[in-house]
């Protein structure tokens, strides 16, 4: 209380002008205190708001494409080699692939190990850089076989289509056709896919099929090469992703109506006419015996009159 009494005494001794100045200074001091307090609270609230999105960003997840197994370099990536996984957004590398559709069918530029995130830099987007080898499926070989405009589906088959391979064997008695291979990937026709792109400017009917390049496993490849040496190879174009329905003949034989008959060429020289048969002249009848007054002596075919 002594302190309060002394303060009251001091205030009573002040002049009115001094009291006004004291009141103004006190008001300014209170204003500053209130202002600083409010500013501090506002800054703190802003810091809290910034911290909340940051925390949410750290826990945000996104989907990326990962390798399920090791994918060797230059291998055409298939869907069963990949999987989709969620990882934090902050862990997504640059160029990460988010969709399998963007990866399937693309060759690997380098070895992609199991668990690695597939990025654009690990793919060969331009297949011209990987060459024709990049088009061959795993465990297959590229083998070419001679065809014609008829046996090659009149040029309608294009690289990437699937065909059935038919073998036709001809004999003197007729012909036999049978399915040799089914659902075979056609890699190229006439030439490889890279060269085919250079012929786009050519007229459609200018080039005719001469060879077909197929992707075959080694056993099927040997079967096709051997079959091509003994008969004619026909290609049958299949619909896109068609399924086998119904019953189909595996082998069909057509007998010739002429059987074993061999037709000679018309230009063959005519056979010489047979010589006329020789007919021996008929033996002349013996002369009638002449009458004589005496007797006749017959010696063989001679008659002597006496």
Tens digit of pLDDT at every position of the chain (306 positions): 666 676 666 667 766 777 777 777 888 888 888 888 888 777 776 776 666 555 554 568 899 999 999 998 778 889 999 999 999 888 889 889 999 888 998 888 888 999 999 998 888 876 555 566 657 787 899 899 988 888 888 878 888 888 999 999 998 888 999 999 998 988 888 744 444 445 544 444 445 558 889 999 999 999 999 999 999 999 998 886 666 766 777 888 888 776 544 444 343 444 444 555 545 554 444 555 554 455 566 665 665 555
Residue 71 CB partners (closer than 8 Å, separation 6+): 77, 81, 108, 111, 112, 113
pLDDT at site 85: 92
- Numbered ranges of CATH 3.90.1210.10 in the chain: 62-130
| CATH class of domain segment(s) 62-130 | alpha beta
pLDDT at site 4: 61
Nearest to 135 by CA among 185, 190, 198: 185
Q: How many CA atoms lie within 13 A of 26 on its CB side?
A: 6
**3-state secondary structure labels for all residues of 14-60:** CCHHHHHHHHHHHHHHHHHHHHHHHHHHHHHHHHHHHHHHHHHHHHC
pLDDT at site 127: 56
Residue 167 CB partners (closer than 8 Å, separation 6+): 177, 178, 180, 227, 230, 231, 232, 233, 234
Contact 250, 162 (CB under 8 A): no
Number of neighbouring beta carbons within 10 Å of residue 209: 20
pLDDT at site 54: 53
């Amino acid at each position: 209380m002594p302190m309060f009494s002394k303060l009251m005494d001091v205030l009573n001794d002040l002049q009115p002008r001094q009291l006004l100045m004291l009141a103004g200074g006190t008001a300014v001091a209170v204003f500053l205190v209130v202002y600083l307090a409010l500013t501090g609270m506002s800054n703190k609230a802003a810091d809290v708001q910034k911290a909340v999105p940051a925390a949410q960003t750290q826990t945000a997840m996104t989907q990326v494409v990962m390798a399920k197994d090791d994918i060797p370099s230059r291998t055409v990536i298939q869907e069963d080699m990949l999987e989709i996984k969620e990882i934090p957004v902050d862990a997504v590398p640059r160029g990460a692939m988010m969709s399998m559709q963007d990866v399937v069918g693309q060759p690997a530029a380098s070895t992609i190990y199991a668990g690695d995130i597939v990025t654009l830099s690990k793919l060969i987007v331009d297949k011209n850089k990987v060459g024709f080898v990049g088009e061959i499926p795993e465990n297959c070989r590229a083998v070419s076989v001679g065809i014609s405009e008829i046996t090659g589906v009149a040029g309608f088959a294009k690289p990437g289509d699937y065909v059935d391979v038919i073998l036709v064997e001809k004999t003197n008695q007729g012909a036999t056709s049978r399915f040799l291979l089914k659902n075979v990937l056609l890699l190229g026709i006439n030439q490889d896919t890279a060269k085919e792109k250079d012929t786009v400017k050519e007229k459609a009917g200018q080039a005719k099929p001469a060879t077909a390049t197929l992707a075959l496993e080694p056993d099927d490849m040997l079967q096709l090469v051997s079959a091509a040496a003994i008969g004619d190879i026909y290609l049958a174009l299949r619909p896109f992703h068609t399924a086998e329905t119904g019953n189909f003949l595996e082998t069909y034989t057509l007998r010739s109506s002429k059987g074993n008959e061999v037709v000679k060429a018309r230009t063959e020289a005519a056979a010489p006419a047979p010589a006329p048969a020789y007919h021996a002249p008929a033996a002349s009848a013996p002369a009638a015996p002449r009458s004589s007054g005496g007797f006749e002596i017959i010696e063989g075919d001679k008659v002597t009159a006496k």
